[in-house]
């Protein structure tokens, strides 16, 4: 059995099942990427709730796993060399879980790199831009009198939705017939934009019927429904 006690994070979030993948997260758009992936693959895991209202992400125990103080993060007791593997950054975690499970990421060839390309498009574009739009439209930034920052992120979010719309024309998923980690990374953010952020009208979401169609297919998946609620908020 792996010794997770060597990881300081175990002091604050003890593992009941140290042989399982340990997930430290909260059901935000970045957090649910990993819980959805774990639910989709069927890999055994143990979720731990990281609360922002008590600044858990700033605790020394959490920072020992992710010095960037952001969820999600994991410890896999059985990494590529059989030793425990600690990882943060949702994109890196999805690639590892895809390789470990042999699901939702091709092992090699063109399809692998194109899937990673669309994953990076989410990580570098959709996540940061939609996130900023949320700040300026829904959270503290909405009080700012100067609307130029908000408008910049509205325009950029709309442009990114247009890229997705074109890619999804005639395709069931971002990689065609294959549902992949690129979809698992992207659609929690699209859902959040029109749902929690209430920015659907602002970005003209009705102009993106293919994105709406794939979002509907995504949220209808049983593993997605489960993953969206994990870890349960206390």
Ligand X SMILES: N[C@@H](CCC(=O)N[C@@H](CS)C(=O)NCC(=O)O)C(=O)O
What are the residues binding ligand X (CB under 6 A)? 28-30, 52, 57, 69-72, 89-90
Nearer to ligand X, 93 or 164 (CB): 93
Q: How many CB atoms lie within 10 A of CB 51?
A: 12
Asked if residue 98 has a cis previous peptide bond (ω within 30° of 0), the answer is no
Q: Please report, to the nearest 10 degrees, the dihedral formed by the alpha carbons of residues 74, 76, 80, 82 taken in order.
A: 150
Q: Vertex 163, ends 157 and 168: CA angle to 5°?
A: 125
Q: How many CB atoms lie within 10 A of CB 92?
A: 13
Nearer to ligand X, 29 or 98 (CB): 29
Instruction: Compute the least distance from the CB of residue 205 to ligand X, in Å.
Output: 21
Nearer to ligand X, 70 or 100 (CB): 70
Instruction: Compute the least distance from the CB of residue 49 to ligand X, in Å.
Output: 13
Nearer to ligand X, 59 or 69 (CB): 69
Instruction: Compute the least distance from the CB of residue 189 to ligand X, in Å.
Output: 10
Backbone conformation region of residue 42, classed left if phi is above 0, alpha if psi is from -120 to 50, else beta: left
The per-type count for the chain, helices as H runs and strands as E runs, is: 11, 4
């Amino acid at each position: 059995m792996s010794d997770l006690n060597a990881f300081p994070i175990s002091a604050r979030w003890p593992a009941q099942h140290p042989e399982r993948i340990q997930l430290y997260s909260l059901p935000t758009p970045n957090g649910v990427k990993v819980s959805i992936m774990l639910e989709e693959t069927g890999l055994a895991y143990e979720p731990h709730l990281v609360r922002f209202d008590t600044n858990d992400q700033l605790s020394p125990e959490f920072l020992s796993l992710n010095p960037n103080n952001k969820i999600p993060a994991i410890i896999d007791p059985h990494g590529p060399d059989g030793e425990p593997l600690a990882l943060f950054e949702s994109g890196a975690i999805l690639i590892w879980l895809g390789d470990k499970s042999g699901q939702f990421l091709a092992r090699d060839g063109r399809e692998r790199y194109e899937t990673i390309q669309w994953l990076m498009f989410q990580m570098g574009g959709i996540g940061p831009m939609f996130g900023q739009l949320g700040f300026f439209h829904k959270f503290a930034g909405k009080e700012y009198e100067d609307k130029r920052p908000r408008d910049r992120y509205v325009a950029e979010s709309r442009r990114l939705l247009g890229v997705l719309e074109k890619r999804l024309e005639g395709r069931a998923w971002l990689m065609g017939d294959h549902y992949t980690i690129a979809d698992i990374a992207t659609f929690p953010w699209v859902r959040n934009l029109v749902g929690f952020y209430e920015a659907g009208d602002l970005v003209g979401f009705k102009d993106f019927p293919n994105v709406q169609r794939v979002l509907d297919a995504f949220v209808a998946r049983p593993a997605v429904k489960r993953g969206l609620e994990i870890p349960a908020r206390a």
